Structure 1
């Protein structure tokens, strides 16, 4: 029997902690929190890794909130995983140099998978996470999205994963975007299929967690981790789940 960890997430915009509903920058909730202090609180509660999203860099490119992310990474002893805004190898290198342990690559995986495969070879599979946001398509297919969910990929999720996995991919963060920010539960069918097809990938679930029961449901799909953002910030899920490993289905 394997187990699932809960991974706390902070979305950063203009140096502060926010959440977007369905990825819409016009539907923002801003929290009166210090990002560094909140990151420390998650670490103190037992988190094994912290997930950060740089919303400014994701939308505009560049370094966005990299200074804030670097300050968080320096303040913590646990690994930091962060995504948003990587457009080229120089951007990837700046994030690694800033203390980020794993960089999440999203749109580039969809648009330029061969480029990402080259980076997997150069930097190693422990430094890169494929962050694939997907929506349901025809015939049970899952279609990866790019450019803030405004652009669909040319191939479905499993075809893309076959390429990335052959190139050395080990860590996958996958989000059913129809559930993101909705607090109604995760896309369990998606994660069951992923863990069944790719038992050697380290799969992180994301999107939809609104209460502790949702964590048990997603753990049963066999994923290694589940990212929780808004539900932790708003107390819908207690901090003590960060120190737990939830039983999950055999890989």
Structure 2
């Protein structure tokens, strides 16, 4: 398992949201480029960068900053937020992104994503699926900043996308995101058991080094760590430890 440090951008600044709520934002003084450089120097092989403005409003609000990260750092940049068309996907690849995370469209229009997965660009798509458990215990993906619930449960949706060629998924347990309550181990184990050849990125809940050890046992390929690194709950040395 590798650690993917996360940098969330809003108005060009490094921020974190609690449970995806734009009204519950924490701002940090870090310069995005300098922060990414520190992560790269610690051994990160890929950094996860989210354009929160574009995720909410569409467009390309922080694309210039992301392009600079891609251009000036010797590390892979995975980016998400605001991909609503094939042109949006291509533009992010054109500026140097190694992978592009697509969320709401996977939930709203899986047939469209299935078509993209068959294109050359499709090999660099990461499905970003944010989920919460329903009354029956099924993991249900959500869209539009978690305000819309999909009609298809997570595993059924992944059946469709994996059949179409999906190689990698980033899955977030909404209830745990930014809350330091521990990763959703059962969720990641369920995905890994059902799709043994799918690379899974765990996201949400990490608040300690012990959480990283725990999530690694589920078979995920990577773990996204954002706020815990920014606030020192997870030491930078953990990036180094998990990059070996």
After TM superposition, the score normalised by the length of structure 2 is 0.97
Give 1:153's aligned residue.
150
In structure 1, what is the Cα distance between the partners aligned to 2:200 and 2:122? Answer: 13
In structure 2, what is the Cα distance between the partners aligned to 1:240 and 1:111? Answer: 39
Q: Which runs of 5+ in 1 are unaligned?
A: none
> Higher RCO, 1 or 2 (CA under 8 Å, sep at least 6)?
1
Matches within 5 A, 1:70-149: 70-149=67-146
Give 2:231's aligned residue.
234
Give 2:49's aligned residue.
52
Higher mean C-alpha displacement, 168-177 vs 131-140? 131-140
Q: Does 1:10 align with 2:11?
A: no
Deviation of 1:245 (Å): 3.1
Give 2:219's aligned residue.
222
Give 1:164's aligned residue.
161
Kindly tell me: are residues 46 and 246 of structure 1, through their superposed partners in 2, closer, same or farther at Cα, counting changes over 3 Å?
Answer: closer
Give 1:23's aligned residue.
20
In structure 2, what is the Cα distance between the partners aligned to 1:176 and 1:144? Answer: 9
In structure 2, what is the Cα distance between the partners aligned to 1:124 and 1:15? Answer: 27
Match of 2:180 among 172, 178, 183: 183
After TM superposition, the score normalised by the length of structure 1 is 0.95
Q: Deviations over 1:124-151 (max 9, x none)?
A: 4431000000000132210000000000
In structure 1, what is the Cα distance between the partners aligned to 2:23 and 2:137? Answer: 31
Higher mean C-alpha displacement, 202-211 vs 110-119? 110-119
Deviation of 1:246 (Å): 8.5
Deviation of 1:178 (Å): 0.5
Q: Deviations over 1:211-239 (max 9, x none)?
A: 11111111111111000000001111011
Higher mean C-alpha displacement, 121-130 vs 59-68? 121-130
Q: Which runs of 5+ in 2 are unaligned?
A: none
- Considering only aligned residues, what root-mean-square deviation do their CA atoms show, in Å? 1.2
Runs of 4+ deviating beyond 6 Å: none
In structure 1, what is the Cα distance between the partners aligned to 2:99 and 2:243? Answer: 23
In structure 1, what is the Cα distance between the partners aligned to 2:70 and 2:10? Answer: 17
